[in-house]
Structure 1
Amino acid sequence: MTTRRSVVAFVGLLVLMLFPSVAKAEVTHINMGEADGVGVHKEWEVQFNEGVEVVEDSLSDVNIVVKDSNGETVDVPDAYLKNKNTIVVPAPENGYQGGQKYKLYVGKSIQFKSGVNMSDRYMKTFYTEREILDPPAPGEDVVSYGTVTSDTLNIRKGPDGSAEKLGQYVEGDRVEIYGFEGYWAQIRHNGEIGYVHKTYMKLRALTGGVLQDQIIVLDPGHGDHDNGASDHGGFEKDINLDVSKRVYDILEEKGADVRMTRTDDTFLELSERVEYGDKQMGDLFVSIHTNAYVESAHGTESFCYVDKTSNVEEGCLLAEKIHEQIVDLVGMYDRGVVEGTRGGFGDFHVIRNTHTPSVLVEMGFLTNDGDAEKLMSDYYRDLYAQAIATGIENYYKEPVQ
């Protein structure tokens, strides 16, 4: 009797091995490939385990979704079936943004011919490689590229605002740059050499991180006889300079070309600070300060300036990125980002008269016990510096909309 049962069991096992379709194939896993440094025109292949068959008509923009780092849905062409168990998700028509983070969601409403449903949705985070532009013409070298940040950007025949206009770019256009003459970037337009003003572009070096070769001007407020705020045994001029030097070290280590309006206890007029930034052909201007008021006033606030003709949006974006880092990393009370206007609150000379994206940061109140404890602390000054540097880096990571 035992032998007969063994034979029946063996035959049953053999049937299952030879005819596996008798059993319903279940969705047990998805293979979605590599996630880091993928090409900007990457077509994702979503491969389910062997044995399942996807119902192609069930695919939709509800169960196949790509989102960017801001949580916004990316417009990608319709997904389609490559074979029985593999879905292809095409890249956007113009590709993904280079050097950005995305998430690909595969939803539970996808149907399978076996009738088995997915137990949960899948999500894949991926990072695109920095976009490599077309190679330059023979004998020419692209030194960097830029993304236009203004509504329009005129292309001039020479490095001068009065030179003949050859054409124009619009916001979001990517531009190959072959060299710089002061604030002017040399480009090619319809086979002809042209120039555009670099102030209206977010620049990228060909190698390194987003901070590589960015000319960042740090402005430690006050100095010499101008102490600025004073309380709890400290002077604003000293705090500003100390934190600025720490920011300098962090940014330089990340490849930035950092300049400082002052590196010691000297005094500069406000106009001299602006002139210095212009002479350095800076890409950003960050003025670092310490606040003072009544004892109860506390927290950090940051200022951009909106009553000027250039880089208003970029300046305020820079302020937001730095501000949120100080609030989160240093643990400061959030007094907000203030949009300064002429004759109003936040009408600061150094951000009103600089052409580049500019911000003035008030780290905290030296007249407040809690803020002063942090401002006078070596540990917290490191955090302030890290927050400002990270905010600058995050600004450069933010794609041009």
Structure 2
Amino acid sequence: MTPPNPSILTRIVALVAATLLLALGAMMLVTFRGPPPHARPMMPGEAAALLQGSAAPAGSWTVTRYLSDRMPAAEPDQLDDPRGAAHIAALMGLPPSDVNLLRQRPPMRLDDPDRRMMMQAEPGRMMLHGAFLLARRTRDGWQLVQARQGANERWYAITLSLMAGIFILLLLPAYWVARRITQPIRMLADGAANERPERADPLPLTGPPEVRAVGAAYNQMRARIADYLNERTAMLVAIAHDLRTPMTRLSFRLEALPDGPRAKAQADVQEMRAMVTDLLDFMRGQGDPAAHIRMDLSAIVATLADDQADMGQDVVVTRSDRAVVRGDAVALRRCIANLIDNAVRYGGSARIALTVANGRATIAVEDDGPGVPETAIDRLCEPFYRGEASRNRETGGVGLGLAIARRIADDHRGRLNFVNRIGGGLRASILLPLDD
């Protein structure tokens, strides 16, 4: 039986509902099972004991004792409570005139009935809250006791601990739910960011229904792109292949022309053949890559340099570190050869350096040519683009050599870079990961 797979909306609603329920439960727990938010009030008997000095303050009350030659007058935030003073005097066995009580003014309106009830409460039910000043007449003057009620640190500590615990308990399932929601979306984003989606594996259809629907649509789109590219490649390869036959017949017929026109026509046919060959190589490279094997790049570089030197080209290897990579030997040879051919064609020479650093092999090909305008460097690898705009046969090429080189580098998880050298010339480099 397939387990239920709720939608993203259902998961988010469930997460919010669970969060609210837990928060409500925590509030009820603190309200009904926790200690009160403030310390308990002081009873008149405890105030009398404080005034007599026979007891220490209880709970969070802070008491200050001092003598004064006169009874302090009530401050704006204080109220004179003669009934309470008389009750405390009776508990101490003193006349009411010897005891005075100043209580903290409640934060209420003067006509508030609750305040009147508090001030008119029976003496036996009187309780002292907040802060008060209690005075007793002695032979040396007035003995004053100023008391202030502090906050209940225990209540705040328990409340904050519960809040922190609930936050952690909510954070863990929230992270788990968010990860379950976002992981398929991240896989979909990674698949969409693939430079060659038609070669990528289909995405697994996991996660919420919305994500699975998007993944299925992406897989269908990937399949359609692959079919379109295959059809386009097959069509272009067939056209390029079929062009060879009429060009061969045309070459034979050109033999009947005079020497001058025949040479120019033969050159045009030769250029067309080169274009067809490059196009076939480029389009065939769009198919499935060959199996990758371990190889030493230094051997390929040395062989290519020797072949160019045998043809009279100024090609020299200035450095050749041992660099073992995994790839298609034929394709990598074509990639490096295209860079060398480009350097010889436009710069007249090529200096090749193979270095290894940070787990990568770098093949740098430098020439002494005029370089490339900075605005054109990013377009060098575009199919059929040439930095030399005249397209004459002296400089050769149809603009596919560097495009083929970049495709091969991409297929080997590498990168192709171009930069103008200081003092003139172009530096083309291929970065390939080493095989561990």
Q: If the length of structure 2 is used for normalisation, what is the TM-score?
A: 0.26
Q: More helix per residue: 1 or 2?
A: 2
Q: If the length of structure 1 is used for normalisation, what is the TM-score?
A: 0.28
